[in-house]
A and B are shown apart, each in its own frame.
Chain A
Amino acid sequence: MELLYQCLIVLRKDLLQQWRARARLAAVVAFGLTTLLLFSFANGPDTTMLRLNAAGYLWLALLLSSTLSLGESFRVETQNGALEGLLLLPTDPRAIYYGKALGNLVVLTGLGLALIPVMVALYDVAIPMGVPRLAGVIALGSAGLVAPGTLYAALSTRARGSDVLLPLLLFPLVVPALLSSVKATALILTGDPMNQLASWLGLLTAFNLIYWSLCGLLFGRVVED
């Protein structure tokens, strides 16, 4: 209970911090939109191809933007020594991890939702299974990116060359989350005649369960040293 309470305090602090730095968040959204636009140039103006690849482009845009938003969320903490301050208080490091990760999840899911209308417009896709389900997949997939992402952001922002380090560590790791998110999103965009959606969501949930618990366990070791 105490852990949950502390976690909510960290989450509130994180969201407040993100809100104060909303100009930076706007830059991340702009970055995501730019990547979505660029993918259509990589493909050429072939509408059928764009429609087929829309799910993949959406997730690549989200993954690329996530490295920016994750890095930002910890840069503030390290710049003014706020993380050290938090650790001086009798806070469970797990509470810090889950609070930060939830904050990042809110930001990334928000970004994903903001990208939906642009994706619909640019790639001319329909959403036959409905926006709520798509939003659910975006939230679940973002959770998969954010779980190891928060852990890695905590360490890469305190190392030299942090800009290159975070994607280098994160990208190979999230391959299963990316793969299942893209598949699930594609099924939502094109329809699911074979009932495959459930198994992809199952895989994504398993990935989330494993990394949300494992990274929470290991986070303490990362920030204490």
Chain B
Amino acid sequence: MKDRWEHLVGLLGLALFGFGTWHGLVVAPPDIYMGDVQRIMYVHVPTAWAALLTLTFAFFVAIGWLVRGTWRWDALQEASIEVGVVLGALLIAQGSIWARPTWGVWWDWDPRLTTSAVLVLAFAGILALRSFVDDPRRRATWTAVAAIVAYVDVPIVYFSVRWWRSLHQVQSSPDTVDKPMVLALRINAFALLFLATWLVARRYRLARARNRAELADMEAA
């Protein structure tokens, strides 16, 4: 079985996520300021890291396609962009749930929140682009170009939103971090990383299978 390693990684991620969540919800003490709401962070921050890493990966894969031009790179583009968008959408939902008890609103124009929304929309647009282009080679190149252009935007969006909001107060981030808290955060960071790897690997296999079928169809036509 070729896909055994990825299931191993996926199971490891699942186990770690279970352990980390138990740690975050039960073992870790409530935060001095944030109380129990702080526990959202044990899933929110790891999701943010995983989403950003997946989309960063997509950026390098896009360069990979432009340089090498083999179908593996395109399948990897499709996989990492889709998983990145799903994780990003999840990230925004978590952020919104966190904002409500903390800042009293469902949405806040916080630079990180706004940047992730822009990022998710930009990459979701690229997924739409993929579905609108029929020629596979053209689709792959256009995806790569759009992914590079969108990724470069991330730091610019972040800084522009930060300046835009500079009249508002800066969010206080509690820096009193207890040992069980750090542990829960670390475990879940690896858990989400492994789960994301599994998702990308599975999505890659799906993209490869579809790509092969598509190329065979074109060959036959």
Contacts and interface: CB of A to CB of B under 8 A. Distances in A.
A159 B144 CA distance: 15
Nearest to A200: B163
Interface string A187-225: 000000000000110010011001100110010011001
Interface in A148-182: 148, 151-152, 155-156, 159-162, 164-165, 168-169, 171-173, 175-176, 179-180
A151 B129 contact: no
B156 A218 contact: no
Nearest to A147: B149
B164 interface: yes
A160 B129 contact: no
Contacts of B163: 199-200, 203
Contacts, number: 88
Q: Is the interface of B mostly helix, strand, loop or mixed?
A: helix
B141 interface: yes
B51 to A, nearest CB: 16
Nearest to B134: A160
A12 interface: no
B132 interface: yes
Given A155-B142, A179-B164, A221 B66 contact: yes
Interface in B123-146: 125-126, 128-129, 132-135, 137-138, 141-142, 144-146
Q: Is the interface of A mostly helix, strand, loop or mixed?
A: helix
Interface residues of A, number: 34
A221 B143 CA distance: 11
A225 B149 CA distance: 18
A169 B126 CA distance: 7
The residue among A160, A175, A218 with the most chain B CB atoms within 10 A of its own CB is: A175
A183 interface: yes
B125 A222 contact: no
B122 A179 contact: no
A146 B144 CA distance: 20
A175 B160 contact: yes
Contact of A159 (B66, B121, B129, B150): B129
Contacts of B164: 179, 183
Interface in A65-96: none
Nearest to A215: B149
B153 A169 contact: no
Contacts of B161: 175, 179
Contacts of B132: 159-162, 165
Nearest to A169: B125
- Counting from the closest, the 7 A-B pairs by CB-CB distance are A176-B160, A172-B121, A172-B122, A168-B125, A159-B132, A176-B156, A169-B125
Interface of A: 148, 151-152, 155-156, 159-162, 164-165, 168-169, 171-173, 175-176, 179-180, 183, 199-200, 203, 206-207, 210-211, 214-215, 218, 221-222, 225
Given A169-B129, A176-B159, 15 more contacts: A148-B149, A151-B145, A160-B132, A164-B128, A165-B125, A169-B122, A172-B121, A173-B122, A175-B153, A179-B160, A200-B163, A203-B156, A203-B159, A218-B148, A222-B145
